[in-house]
Amino acid sequence: MRNPTLLQCFHWYYPEGGKLWPELAERADGFNDIGINMVWLPPAYKGASGGYSVGYDSYDLFDLGEFDQKGSIPTKYGDKAQLLAAIDALKRNDIAVLLDVVVNHKMGADEKEAIRVQRVNADDRTQIDEEIIECEGWTRYTFPARAGQYSKFIWDFKCFSGIDHIENPDEDGIFKIVNDYTGEGWNDQVDDELGNFDYLMGENIDFRNHAVTEEIKYWARWVMEQTQCDGFRLDAVKHIPAWFIKSGSNTYRKLRQSRCLLWRSTGRMKSINCKRILIRWKAKPCCSMRRCR
């Protein structure tokens, strides 16, 4: 699609109560009338704060408002049936649909695990303390209410490289998790703010674990088939390795020739850094984006 007119259909303070998906279904005809031909929807899956979650505290990507998790079946924006009805109404009006998605981190783990961590200097993430701390962390995601439907994948401490809270001893901060994949430190090919900006918040997903990257790609295929969305707005790209963005983008594009991937960084990002990341991807966004914010 050349020169699309994109409408962001939500904001941080949109009221909870499952009103957004029905509203979009009702207003789809009007969007078409005023020339909107692409919409950006908020994260459609269950966040750690359940029906109050804006969506950036990513908990279960496979729960589109279908399972009783985190105190609610619907998400803040509605249930799965309402989401699908909204997307159907938009697409009947020739409006492309982009889903916002967070694959940088997870929050709201179901169980604690015994883990080993190292303290990290918050102002310079390349400074990692040599002392290894034996502790507990909320790093195991089992999604008991979903009970293996759509995916049986269990997330544990080997899926993450960092965490911001430990127990026994209780301490807040930034901690690098010690596992089979983190021996060389943080992921490279991320933004160099604070030395290395791999870690942002929550349980930081480690893309060096092949099982993790395959699960994320599997989810992307699944959600595109379930919702018939046309692409994604990918959150927190400055914290995700460039090589994964390139690999994932190529995978998604093969599903449908017309589908595209949009991205936007979380926080500050200098234009030179954005240009460097695009060079690493050896790719261009399908839709023109004139500036990075």
Task: For 236-262, write each residue's pLDDT tens digit.
Answer: 989 999 888 877 776 666 665 544 555
Asked if the model's pLDDT at residue 62 lies above 50, the reply is: yes
DSSP 50: G
Mean per-residue pLDDT, 258-267: 50
What is the pLDDT at residue 246? Answer: 78
Residues 245/237, Cβ–Cβ less than 8 Å: yes
Report the sign of the C-alpha dihedral through residues 59, 160, 198, 128, in that order. Answer: positive
Q: Max alpha carbon distance in the chain (Å)?
A: 62
What's the CA gap between 220 and 195, in Å, rounded? 30
CATH superfamily of 6-105+211-281: Glycosidases (3.20.20.80)
Mean per-residue pLDDT, 103-113: 98
Mean per-residue pLDDT, 84-106: 96
- Into which CATH architecture does domain 108-209 fall? Beta Barrel (2.40)
Location of each CATH 3.20.20.80 domain in the chain: 6-105+211-281
pLDDT tens digits along 130-161: 999 999 999 999 999 999 999 999 999 999 99
Type of residue at 179: N
Asked if the model's pLDDT at residue 286 lies above 50, the reply is: no
Asked if the model's pLDDT at residue 225 lies above 60, the reply is: yes
Q: Which residue has the tokens 């359940």?
A: 50
Mean per-residue pLDDT, 67-86: 98
Q: Model's pTM, two decimal places? A: 0.88
What's the CA gap between 170 and 151, in Å, rounded? 33
Location of each CATH 2.40.30.140 domain in the chain: 108-209
pLDDT tens digits along 153-201: 999 999 999 999 999 999 999 999 999 999 999 999 999 999 999 999 9
More confident residue, 230 or 89: 89
